Structure 1
């Protein structure tokens, strides 16, 4: 293990090598990406919009702490967050990571990265609109990542997906949000929806929430 990764809770050199390569190949999207240009996800088939390593380390550590075996993420992109989730689930004794990705080329790349890391058998990657593919998760979930794509108007995708996922979270489940969409924050910060939440100084916009009671309509 290199000095660079000595303090990371993820100590699998095979997985870390894949993560390092993805990070090394990361490039800035033309036109500033979806927040500075087009909002069409198919315009970025070869560009990953992923969590940062510190967020991934936190995901791994929290999943180990709560013994997570069933987790869900929106969205998978090139599979960076999936690698952290799948490693934690494997190290917890096994389980399932339910991923979601609307762009087939990115889904294929993510599956390739997972296979390279030896984790593909732990992942159920659902291709399509997460508002539909994540509507039924097949049972209670221990941890969710909500990392949505920006939209031009109306409720954010993060808020819409969260409203579908929330009733499927077990009491004590954790949720991480990457982009701090205002309407998403309104949802998790309203005690009536069954969450307690905290803003973290990671990537400038990380919200960590725990489900402490049933959500409205559950």
Structure 2
């Protein structure tokens, strides 16, 4: 059933009513598949869940917006874009910083199309490049140093998680002083980001059952 996820404070740092209207619409129409949908082999197939927009929590979005504004971010990575919730927060920050680009990656073409439509509805289409395909390919070259990256993912039947694979591709493109926010705390992502050799320091925030925020220091 659709349900609303309110902000914990009741107030977003975003002031643009057009952007907030789209965010509110997406929050109020959230739908989640039944738990048993994740029990079979289709749990590893993102296309099997094409009708569901898995999205960040508003508190995560507010944090993304504030940090991007504080650091005057100009180039950010959004994985996975899904229907565009996180891209809206990123793109709003890019515009309010005076210009910039969100490089999004989404495997399911139908979701990417919805994300683009949501960005257009919010007046933010000019600040986003939503790429369709496997992020391990679409994010290999994002055209310059990245200020901030959101790394989410999808379950893998074997081998490293997508979050781990994608951070290994994005990290070399992230500038020193750049941030990485991880949504689902995949164990091998956490292992990577907390390894001193990775060049990051990180902390776990009490948002959405644990959100990892990492800073690149080397």
Q: TM-score w.r.t. structure 1 length?
A: 0.93
- Report the counterpart of residue 38 of structure 1 in structure 2: 43
Distance 1:204 1:33 in 2: 21
Cα deviation digits, residues 30-63 of structure 1 (max 9, x gap)? 3455478622100111101110000000000000
Residues 35, 135 of structure 1: alpha-carbon distance in 2 compared, 3 angstrom cutoff: farther
Distance 1:28 1:53 in 2: 16
Distance 1:6 1:166 in 2: 34
- What are structure 2's unaligned runs of at least 5 residues? 1-5
Residues 25, 7 of structure 1: alpha-carbon distance in 2 compared, 3 angstrom cutoff: closer
- Report the counterpart of residue 82 of structure 1 in structure 2: 87
Partner SS, residue 38 of structure 1:
helix
Residue among 147, 156, 160 paired with 2:165: 160
Residue among 174, 177, 201 paired with 1:172: 177
Answering whether residue 1 of structure 2 is matched by residue 23 of structure 1, we say no
- Report the counterpart of residue 100 of structure 1 in structure 2: 105
Answering whether residue 21 of structure 2 is matched by residue 14 of structure 1, we say no
Which stretch of the first structure deviates more once superposed, 51-60 or 38-47?
A: 38-47
Asked if the contact 1:35/1:150 (under 8 Å) is kept, the reply is no
- Report the counterpart of residue 120 of structure 1 in structure 2: 125
Distance 2:23 2:39 in 1: 25
Asked if the contact 1:195/1:212 (under 8 Å) is kept, the reply is yes
Distance 2:39 2:102 in 1: 28
| CA RMSD after TM alignment | 1.6
Asked if the contact 1:51/1:178 (under 8 Å) is kept, the reply is yes
Distance 2:65 2:39 in 1: 28
Residues 59, 32 of structure 1: alpha-carbon distance in 2 compared, 3 angstrom cutoff: farther
Partner SS, residue 23 of structure 2:
helix
- What are structure 1's unaligned runs of at least 5 residues? 214-218
Residue among 187, 201, 207 paired with 2:206: 201
- Report the counterpart of residue 109 of structure 1 in structure 2: 114
- Report the counterpart of residue 183 of structure 1 in structure 2: 188
Shift of 1:137: 1.0
Distance 1:96 1:29 in 2: 32
Count residues in correspondence: 211
